[in-house]
Amino acid sequence: MRKLSPLQIERLKYQPKLPSSLAKGINSLELTEGAATESVRDQEQIKALFKNTYGKPVVTFNSTDSSKVSEVRNVGVILSGGQAPGGHNVIAGLYDALKQANSANKLYGFLGGPSGIIDGKYIEFTDEFIDAYRNTGGFDIIGSGRTKLETEEQFQKSLAVCKKLNISAVVIIGGDDSNTNAALLAEWFVKNDAGIQVIGCPKTIDGDLKNEQIEISFGFDTATKTYAELIGNIQRDANSAKKYWHFIKIMGRSASHVALEAALQTQPNITLISEEVEEKKMSLESIINYMSDIIVKRADMGKNFGIAIIPEGLIEFIPEMKSMIANLNDIMASLENDPDFVNATTIREKFDIVENRLDPENAKVYNSLPVLIKGQLLADRDPHGNVQVSKIETEKLLIEMITTRLDELKSQGEYIGKFSAQSHFFGYEGRCAFPSNFDADYCYSLGYNAFALINFGLTGYLSSVRNLTKPASEWIAGGIPLTMMMNMEKRHGEFKPVIQKALVKLDGPVFKALEEHREDWAMNDRYLFPGAVQYFGPSEVCDITTCTLQLERAKELASV
């Protein structure tokens, strides 16, 4: 028998809370439809690609006093993309709703992500199996993967597996790309009269899958609290030793929501926001000068220490770097089968080949980078053909360039301090943590709600639970069409339909909160120490959600 820690035992006992609209039971619901919807951009193109699933209404659920027994349904579930705390509870909520609707219903878990439905690798869930994973972190219940569902062959194989298991609905738990796949699969099933529904659930710790109906993606709450704990620990250490600058890169490729939230929870000396860098067209040199200026001013105060938060995707938002990387991505695609590049015996030879093919200005930028970073930029691309920014050690690039800049200032008599830096990257540490009470409740509700969407015969929808700054009983359950979140973007040199990423809004209340305090935090040590995620105790400690969500909903709440 697997040995469990005391915390594991206690978390398995936790009973997640449901919105009151769902709490009466899955067979006591009524559905209300809103107005027809349209995509966020490129409406005509998206409509043409999703002729059968475009324009559907937003729906909400309410409880009724009537009750009915649902028809027998078999459902398949897929965990797709990177891990996020709470994924197990989505499956648990889905399972409980499914069994509550009709005890003859079955839930199949496809193993290893989307490839499981293509290759027919699966398990059937049982009470005992599900109960061992409730309120736990990770995706190890069935594993995850990044296989894309987009080709005719993949759709045909998925259909054959579903027919074999008599599956009438598939739930895909994933981020923007995974739910784009869900939209494509839903459209194909309807077009081919397959009789199989597809429902998505909004997962990503990056926090960039959201809108008015999807207030937060699951996992963001837990991950940011986990990172904030680690940053707080480092801040306490820095304030004790008083001799190191800590450069902390934090997960979030396309958006800086995680870095921004962690900063609001911990109040570091420097916080870079990728979207601000892009908006202000800040060059790499200007970023180095900005950070160096703070380091110098703190040194003048006798403070040769500090904390800098750096979003993972920063390097792609610096204008000259963004241009160079876009050019490099196209070149790397053409070099995959180039014998000169493939057979190059030294990294220097590869550098030369790349520089000769880059546009002159981009070649100049590439050539100016440290060898370490130049090599990392040539690493294998992600499934979309883009550089894997998590492998680019931006924090080390900044440290090296700041060291050079401070040496220049010291030689000019403008810097008298000592600069010693430590680098960190917080990514995997937050993806599989035990979910916070908020994420445990939210994820369970998303899964339970996903089956409600299935029960009403909907397809091409994303499970939506909102009003999240209120107690769980007041949350609003429903669904939004996946096509509502889509636009056209260039991928692998072609324009394709994808769910639009929600970036940090520089005119929004969350960034404004950082902007208001940034100068004070830079010079004065206002460090906050959040400590570990709380599970037991006063609700104002245990059930509180992120600063981001509270700030974003504050205006709406004030008007109520």
Indicate the burial class of 502 (C-beta count within 10 angstroms; 0-12, 13-18, 19 or more). Answer: buried
For the chain, what is the radius of gyration of the CA atoms?
Answer: 25
Element (H, E) at 505: none
- Which residues contact residue 152 at a Cβ distance below 8 angstroms, ignoring those fewer than 6 apart? none
**Whole-number Å distance between alpha carbons of 425 and 374:** 19
β-strands 29-36, 57-63 pairing: antiparallel
CB 90 within 8 A of CB 17: no
The answer to whether 196 and 78 are in contact (CB under 8 A) is no
| Residue 219 Ramachandran class (φ > 0 left, ψ -120 to 50 alpha, else beta) | left
Active site residue 330: no
Angle between helices 176-191 and 152-164 (to 10 degrees): 70
**CA–CA gap between residue 200 and residue 195 (Å, rounded):** 17
Catalytic residue of the set 96, 176, 206, 439: 206
Residues 259 and 309: beta-carbon distance below 8 Å: yes
Contact by Cβ (8 Å): 89, 134: yes
Return the H-helix or E-strand segment holding 383: none
The residues annotated as belonging to the active site are: 206
